[in-house]
Every structure is written in C-alpha cells, then in structure tokens.
C-alpha cells in the first residue's frame, strides 16, 4: 500500500514558522493584511475564501473581503484594484478568477501591483517564475506541490518528472519551478500521444489536467510518487482528483489524496505570500 501524503501534516509544519514571521513583523509595526476581491458568489470561490480567511486569521494575518456584484463594470473594478494598490495597509491582493465576461482580464492583470499580486496574476510574476526570480509570487497551487514534496523529503534533483497539464495556473509554472530544482521535466496533456506510456516512464507524476480519475493503473508503475492536483466532482457528486486513487494506491509508493492533499496546503502558501509581500514592501526581507 502506498504512503499517503496528507496536506494537514504540511500545513502543521508550516504553521509555526509562519506564526513566528508574523509576530516578528508585528513587533516592528507591520501588520500583514490580505484583500480578497470577489465578483458574485460562486460556491467554489466562497468555499475557498472561507478557508483562506480561517487560515490567515489563525496566523494573525488580517483579511478583508471586497465583494462586488457579478455584473460589476470593468472600469469600476480597475479603479478598485488601483485603490487597493495604493493602500499601504494592504500587502496582498487575491482576485478570484475566472472573472465575468464583461471584465477584460488581459487589461486587469497589467493593473494589479506585482508586489501585491500574491497568486501570480500579473505577467511580471509569471515572468519571474520562468526566470527563477524568487522576489516574485508563483501561483499558490504549484507552490503547494513544492511544499508537499519538501515536507515528505522527495527530492526532484535529476528525477524524471511528468506533469499532466499545461495551464498557466498550474502545469507550466510548476514545470519551471521543478526545473529550477534540476528535475528532468516532461509536460503532457490530454492530447499527448501514448500518454499512458509517457506517464509510466516517470519517477514522479503530477496530475493537473482537470479531468476526473483520468489517471488509471495503466498510467503508473511501481515505486512512483504521485501528486494529484485535480479537483473534480465524480459521478456520485463526491470530490475526487485526476487520479483514480483506489487503483493508484495499489501500485505506487506514495500518493496525495483528493480531498485532503495539495488543496489543503494552498491557503497556507497564500498566507506565506502575504507575509513575504509585507516584508518586501517594508524592506524587511
């Protein structure tokens, strides 16, 4: 049976370090603060927001939600983001995406202050991920994968790592972050020819395609480490990952579950990014 990589263990290991960093900042008069910007009330957004607020407040990070109607005008949102950019009491800004159709995300991403963009919306932070510039903010989910691998002592140096998924939110930035750690990367997707065989050749497999239970036992080989980033709903209405957990657990050496895996760690990463932003803005880094 595979070792189960539980997200809560990673969260607990990060908590003490983050609490100490916040207390050091507070003792110097810096009070880390996050602004959450949400248009409408999609259940997934509201659920993540509640988790983020709970995690941040547990670390003495202030959270403020700026909720606007789903039909909020594009120019009004730009003005609101500019206002948050200029507010020195706010260190991090999280904008829930995708945004409604009247919002031009391509314009908005150039407006958000890269120094407050704690989930890699700005092209400046995207570029920093690809350059390996650690002053930037990678997307929270790829960073959560890195935190999980580190916590469980999985080195990627020289390893064959396959990432299923090529989005700018997970797949591509994660591949660059792993490459910085000297992994040998293969990026696949749902149209990759002979995907099963490509996945079997890897030592570490990271599934981020957004397709429920697509990774079956035929994709896997003994001794692999499997990290499941997918969050889907199965035919019974239950949360599941991109990996068929029941099949995979019998084959691989270690696997992260869904729920209870990478997703659990993302709000801790978000909090860490707010702390980092507060340090950088106050020249404490």
pLDDT confidence band for 1 (50 / 70 / 90): confident
63 DSSP β-pair partners: 34
pLDDT, position 274:
98
Q: Max alpha carbon distance in the chain (Å)?
A: 56
pLDDT, position 237:
87
Report how far residue 274's alpha carbon sits from residue 272's, in angstroms, rounded to the nearest whole number: 5
Q: What are the pLDDT digits (tens) for 193-224?
A: 999 999 999 999 999 999 999 999 999 999 99
Q: Considering the entire predicted model, what is its pTM? A: 0.96
Q: What are the pLDDT digits (tens) for 86-105?
A: 999 999 999 999 999 999 99
pLDDT confidence band for 234 (50 / 70 / 90): confident
The reply to whether omega before 175 is within 30° of 0 (cis) is: no
Q: Radius of gyration (Cα) for the chain, nearest Å?
A: 19
Report how far residue 229's alpha carbon sits from residue 210's, in angstroms, rounded to the nearest whole number: 8
Domains and CATH numbers, the chain: 29-114 (3.40.50.10860), 140-263 (3.40.50.720)
Q: Is 165 exposed, middle or buried (0-12, 13-18, 19+ CB in 10 A)?
A: buried
Among residues 198, 185, 263, 204, the alpha carbon closest in space to that of 230 is found at 263
Mean pLDDT of 74-86: 98
Distances (CA, A) of 263 to 151, 160, 200: 15, 24, 24
**Residue 209 near residue 230 (C-beta atoms within 8 A):** yes
Neighbours of 104 (CB within 10 A): 13
Among residues 194, 233, 242, 188, the alpha carbon closest in space to that of 215 is found at 242
Question: DSSP secondary-structure letter at 2?
Answer: P
């Amino acid at each position: 049976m595979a070792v189960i990589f539980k997200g809560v263990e990673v969260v607990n290991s990060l908590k003490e370090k983050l609490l100490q960093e916040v207390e050091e900042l507070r003792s110097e008069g810096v009070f880390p603060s996050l602004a959450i910007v949400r248009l409408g009330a999609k259940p997934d957004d509201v659920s993540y927001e509640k988790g983020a607020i709970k995690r941040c407040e547990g670390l003495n990070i202030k959270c403020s939600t700026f909720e606007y109607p789903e039909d909020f005008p594009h120019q009004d949102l730009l003005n609101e983001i500019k206002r948050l950019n200029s507010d020195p009491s706010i260190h991090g800004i999280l904008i829930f995406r995708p945004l409604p159709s009247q919002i031009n995300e391509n314009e908005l991403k150039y407006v958000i202050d890269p120094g407050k963009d704690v989930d890699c919306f700005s092209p400046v932070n995207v570029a920093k991920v690809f350059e390996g510039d650690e002053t930037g903010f990678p997307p929270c989910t790829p960073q959560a994968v890195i935190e999980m691998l580190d916590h469980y002592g999985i080195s990627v140096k020289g390893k064959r790592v396959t990432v299923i998924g090529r989005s700018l939110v997970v797949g591509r930035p994660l591949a660059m972050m792993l490459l910085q750690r000297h992994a040998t990367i293969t990026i696949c997707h749902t149209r990759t020819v002979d995907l099963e065989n490509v996945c079997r050749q890897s030592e570490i497999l990271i599934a981020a395609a957004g397709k429920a239970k697509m990774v079956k036992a035929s994709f896997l080989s003994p001794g692999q480490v499997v990290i499941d980033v997918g969050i889907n709903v199965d035919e019974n209405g239950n949360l599941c990952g991109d990996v068929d957990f029941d099949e995979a657990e019998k084959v691989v050496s270690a696997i992260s579950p869904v729920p209870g895996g990478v997703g659990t760690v993302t709000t801790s990463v978000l909090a860490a990014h707010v702390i980092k932003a507060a340090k950088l803005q106050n020249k404490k880094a």
